[in-house]
């Protein structure tokens, strides 16, 4: 469970409501597994150290945490989550190359599509450095090179075209388009409102995915 509030006093009120509910319903929060994160503006120092308690225990302040598989940090950028995905992709790629080395190229292509194009949170990436995004792209290309036993410096575009696999930028565009389509068709009024808000981070992500592809 995540509580969000624009002020420290408001957060304390929310925590108090949770504590009262837990007491009335025989529940107990684990304060040792609970953390507090304060978002700060870009390029602005953060000197706030609020004294927040849960059930009498002070909460540990962190700079980032993982929620539903996505890393959220105090800077509100996506570099940490992209690095998490790059490492996970490296692990999956090494596992495929090691365990399925004797399989045919057709089988390897199927495995690559199933396990290496499944980044669930990539459609949420909106604020990241070019370095982090490029590192993930390189990892994506290298996984297929190793899996298909291609030369290290072979042309990536030709490799994906020959294998009939979407390259990194095509994958990102499709993931983003899929997320936008689900939001637009959602029966939830809040989600559908966000989907049609053209100045929202969602649309910046949509436009950015296509710009990155054109620049590539």
Is the pLDDT reported for residue 117 higher than 60? yes
Rounded to an integer, the average pLDDT of 131-154 is 94
d(CA 189, CA 184): 10
- Residue 211: the pLDDT is 58
Rounded Cα distance between 19 and 183, Å, is 33
Question: Token pair 């669930």 is at which residue?
Answer: 120
- Position 109 confidence tier, pLDDT thresholds 50, 70, 90: very high
Q: 79, 128 in Cβ contact below 8 A?
A: yes
**Quick one: pLDDT at residue 176?**
82
**What CA–CA distance (Å, rounded) separates 154 from 181?**
35
Model confidence pLDDT, tens digit, residues 4-49: 999 899 999 999 999 999 999 999 999 889 999 998 866 666 667 7
57-58 and 53-54 beta bridge pairing? antiparallel
Phi, psi of 155 (to 5 degrees): -70, 120
Which tokens in the block code for residue 53? 């308690």
pLDDT, position 210: 57
pLDDT the model gives residue 68: 86
Q: What is the pLDDT of residues 89-105, one digit of tens each?
A: 999 999 999 999 999 99
> What is the DSSP track for the chain?
-----SSHHHHHHHHHHHHHHHHHTT----GGG-EE-----TT---------EETTEEPEE-SEEEETTEEEETT--SHHHHHHHHHHHHHHHHHHHHHTTTS-HHHHHHHHHHHSS--TTGGG--S--HHHHHHHHHHHHHHHHHHHT--TTS-HHHHHHHHT---HHHHHHHHHHHHHHHHHT-S-HHHHHHHT-TTSHHHHHHHHHHHHHHH-
pLDDT (tens digit per residue) in 205-216: 667 665 554 444
* Sole residue written with tokens 């692990």: 91
Instruction: State the greatest distance between any 2 C-alpha atoms of the chain, in Å, as a whole number.
Output: 64
152, β-bridge pairs: none
């Amino acid at each position: 469970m995540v509580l969000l509030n624009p002020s420290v006093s408001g957060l304390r009120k929310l925590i108090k409501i949770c504590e009262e509910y837990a007491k009335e319903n025989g529940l107990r929060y684990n304060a040792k597994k609970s953390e507090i994160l304060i978002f700060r503006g870009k390029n602005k120092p953060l000197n706030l150290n609020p004294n927040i308690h849960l059930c009498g225990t002070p909460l540990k302040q962190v700079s980032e945490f993982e929620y539903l598989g996505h890393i959220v940090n105090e800077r509100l950028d996506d570099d940490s989550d992209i690095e998490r995905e790059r490492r996970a992709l490296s692990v999956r790629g090494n596992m495929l190359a090691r365990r399925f080395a004797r399989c045919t190229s057709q089988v390897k292509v199927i495995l690559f599509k199933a396990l290496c194009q499944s980044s669930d949170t990539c459609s949420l990436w909106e604020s990241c450095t070019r370095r982090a995004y490029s590192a993930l792209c390189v990892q994506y290309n290298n996984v297929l090179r190793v899996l298909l036993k291609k030369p290290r410096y072979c042309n990536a575009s030709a490799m994906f075209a020959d294998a009939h696999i979407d390259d990194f930028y095509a994958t990102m565009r499709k993931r983003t388009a899929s997320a936008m389509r689900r939001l637009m068709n959602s029966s939830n009024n809040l989600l559908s409102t966000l989907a049609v808000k053209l100045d929202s981070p969602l649309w910046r992500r949509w436009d950015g995915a296509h710009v990155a592809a054109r620049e590539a």
